Amino acid sequence: MFLDVLKAPFAVPVPAVISRSQEGPGEMGRAVLIPREEQEKMKELFKINQFNLLASDRIALNRSLPDVRLDGCKSKVYPEELPNTSVVIVFHNEAWSTLLRTLHSVIARSPPRLLAEIVLVDDASEREFLKASLENYVKKLDVPIRILRMEQRSGLIRARLRGAAASRGQVITFLDAHCECTLGWLEPLLARIKEDRKTVVCPIIDVISDDTFEYMAGSDMTYGGFNWKLNFRWYPVPQREMERRKGDRTLPVRTPTMAGGLFSIDRSYFEEIGTYDAGMDIWGGENLEMSFRIWQCGGSLEIITYSHTGQIFQEFPEIFPSNSLEIPRRIGQLQDFPWPGMFDGSCLTIPGVVKVDYGDVSVRKALRESLGCKPFSWYLENVYPDSQIPRRYYSLGEIRNVETNQCLDNMGRKENEKVGFFNCHGMGGNQVNKNREKHLKNKEDIFHGIKSHSLNSPLLTLRHLNSNQCLAEPSEEDRLVPTMRECGGGRSQQWLLRNMTLGA
């Protein structure tokens, strides 16, 4: 099905649209609207890369963009002496017009002395036009451009590693293959790295509509975080960070994580902190792993609000495997954190995963050791205190019934559904419970944990607030659901909390 689309006659690239006036389609970042009679064709083309290719192909490869910077950013003067950068762009079956627009925007809007070269890494694309046609095209451009080809599909991380290793600039700037850089995007990134080589910097990421290719300014009021499921998410810049910057929105935002598509890093620092974790496949999650590592191992991560770069925001193309579960599991192993135990708030019942093969992490753990990296709890406490993940736990781990020796288990159900009961497997996943307080919350049901015996005992009874009953072992009829009974029932109402990592 996908290959059929590839072979469709209109999948060949349009000739480079280079001459333009400010009036042309998409100029100044305006939206391109496709007339009704072409909607069918537009929909067909959309399937190829999960964006409106017909619209993209109508826009000049060097289209003009609005200057979306805050006023205070426009007049900023940078030191003459800045490190230069290699721009590394990896791609897999990227569309011609979006890839070339990325290149043209880099070339047009980077001071030549700062742009050492562009390194393109083709992650085993199948499309013909990305072969000789691309080589011939880039030869005519005014900047040294190399194209490296992965022999087989290797994924974003390994492709980027290849590009980084072959590059020569003092700084490495990674870009996705469907970006547009705006005026003045590069200088502030390099200037910050010059000030502090251990700062890894991201521009504000503007949105290029996947539908109309309209260019929309990203916000300087959001920063990168992540949720329980270890998905990268944008969140409002918290008050404490606004205060640290004394309300000056042109100052860099210290961000807990980066989106990953676009950032600059000092080359030697990139190597020093261990580049990427090449044990991660395809893409997704590598940005979080790297963000954690940067912060934990002595660096910092910032959004430079002077710098804007647009990126097409697409739904994930079907050709890529969805964010796989090996990656959260692998990150969890690196961080000694029971990911992907999927917990949320203080609820018990979020589906998780138990057995996934996350590969060998010993080398990466040794690296962290040798770098003297701080633990995840430090990161949560100091870098991301606004996180949904509580810094301190009363318990984090399984809840085992003393009588039956079985565990509370969410049975892979959706969040907020009733909890189940199953053999303890000690693998985390659905049996990981996390509680900030000594109580257990499930939907509207709140249980208060009451310590049995001595103060140091990990044994609890769990008293239901509304009914005043206690959580107990299942009944004979249904061995898979815990019951509620009058309190005082002895061992069948005693629960052993086993902490897995971060104790309170």
Interface positions with ligand UDP (CB under 6 A) = 90-92, 94, 123, 153, 155-156, 159, 176-177, 261, 282-283, 314, 316, 320
305 Cα distance to chain centroid: 19
Kindly give the pairing relationship between strand 439-442 and strand 115-122.
unpaired
Kindly give the pairing relationship between strand 399-401 and strand 495-497.
antiparallel
Q: Minimum distance between the CB of residue 222 and ligand UDP, rounded to whole angstroms?
A: 17
Give 176 or 409: the residue with its C-beta nearer to ligand UDP: 176
How far are the Cα atoms of 27, 103, 142, 216, 276 from residue 65, in angstroms, in the given order? Answer: 7, 15, 21, 10, 32
428: partner contacted, choices Mn ion, ligand UDP, none (Cβ within 5-8 A by kind): none
378: partner contacted, choices ligand UDP, Mn ion, none (Cβ within 5-8 A by kind): none
Q: Minimum distance between the CB of residue 126 and ligand UDP, rounded to whole angstroms?
A: 12
234: partner contacted, choices Mn ion, ligand UDP, none (Cβ within 5-8 A by kind): none
Give 309 or 435: the residue with its C-beta nearer to ligand UDP: 309
Give 176 or 473: the residue with its C-beta nearer to Mn ion: 176
How many residues bind Mn ion (CB under 5 A)? The answer is 1
34: partner contacted, choices ligand UDP, Mn ion, none (Cβ within 5-8 A by kind): none
User: Distance between CA atoms of 260 and 330, rounded to whole angstroms?
Assistant: 18
Give 283 or 295: the residue with its C-beta nearer to ligand UDP: 283
Kindly give the pairing relationship between strand 300-312 and strand 199-208.
parallel
193: partner contacted, choices Mn ion, ligand UDP, none (Cβ within 5-8 A by kind): none
Residue ranges with strand state E in 168-290: 171-175, 179-181, 199-208, 215-216, 222-226, 232-236, 253-254, 263-266
Identify residues 169-188 at the interface with Mn ion (CB under 5 A): 176
210 near Mn ion, rule: CB under 5 A = no
Q: Which of 310, 455, 299 is nearest to 383 (CA)?
A: 299
Give 315 or 357: the residue with its C-beta nearer to ligand UDP: 315
281 near Mn ion, rule: CB under 5 A = no
Give 149 or 498: the residue with its C-beta nearer to ligand UDP: 149
Kindly give the pairing relationship between strand 445-451 and strand 439-442.
antiparallel
Q: Which residue is nearest to Mn ion (CB)?
A: 176
Those residues whose C-beta lies under 8 Å from the C-beta of residue 53, and which sit 6 or more positions away, are 45, 46, 95, 97
Q: Minimum distance between the CB of residue 210 and Mn ion, rounded to whole angstroms?
A: 10
The torsion angle over the Cα atoms of residues 56, 58, 61 and 65, rounded to 10 degrees, is: -80
Given the rule CB under 5 A, which residues bind Mn ion?
A: 176
